[in-house]
Amino acid sequence: MPLRNTPAAYGTIARTLHWTMAILILASLAFIEFRGAFPRGTYFRGAFRDWHVQIGIVIFALVWFRLFWRFANVEPPVMPPLPAWQRAASHVVEYAFYFLMVLLPILGVLSMQAEGRPPALLGWQLPIVVGVDKDWSHKLEDIHEWLGTAMMWLIGLHVLATLFHRVVRRDNTLARMWGRS
């Protein structure tokens, strides 16, 4: 399988980025959702939030390479071709994913900094860009949480669309991402 995309399928790098980031996003969402299973102040509750933050920062770093790779490579077409409205809808969802992969980590970091708990990546503290402001921190956290919920809905929509393409349309959408033409 070639590294770069071909007219028939996504290449190894695009597929690896897609599936790696999908796993990271799902893990990040799982950690933050399941942290509530532990009482406040316990090790695991704090650890789950820390892992959520670490993964979010990694996603933020990876999304820039993914965006570069996306626009530097040909997009294998869906066969048979999609109606114009479906192609437009798929691009809206795709760009919404990219938007959220950039914005959610930024909001998370700013919220933590405004809360007075600056995050670090593998022990390296990120540059401080905002001062402590608890009210602003809560507002940012609310927006972060709302957009995280939107990310979960988009993931569900993405999975349903994939099933629609596979079962109803019987096109090559899924095959392109598995590297088969």
The stretches in the chain having pLDDT less than 50 are none
Any idea of the CA torsion for 178, 31, 44, 142, to the nearest 10 degrees?
A: 160
Total domain count, the chain: 1
Structural domain contains residue 7:
no
Any idea of the CA torsion for 27, 31, 37, 42, to the nearest 10 degrees?
A: 140
Q: What is the pLDDT of residue 177?
A: 85
Structural domain contains residue 2:
no
Structural domain contains residue 63:
yes
Q: What is the pLDDT of residue 98?
A: 98
Structural domain contains residue 65:
yes
Question: What angle do helix axes 84-115 and 134-163 make, rounded to 10 degrees?
Answer: 150
Q: What is the pLDDT of residue 62?
A: 98
Structural domain contains residue 89:
yes
Structural domain contains residue 154:
yes
Domain membership of residue 68 as a residue range:
12-178
pTM for the full model? 0.93
CATH number for the domain harbouring residue 160: 1.20.950.20
Instruction: Please work out, in degrees rounded to the nearest 5, the angle formed at the alpha carbon of residue 16 by the alpha carbons of 15 and 17.
Output: 90
What are the residues whose beta carbons fall under 8 Å from the beta carbon of 134, sequence distance 6 or more? 114, 115, 116
The DSSP secondary-structure symbol of 80 reads S
Q: What is the pLDDT of residue 178?
A: 82
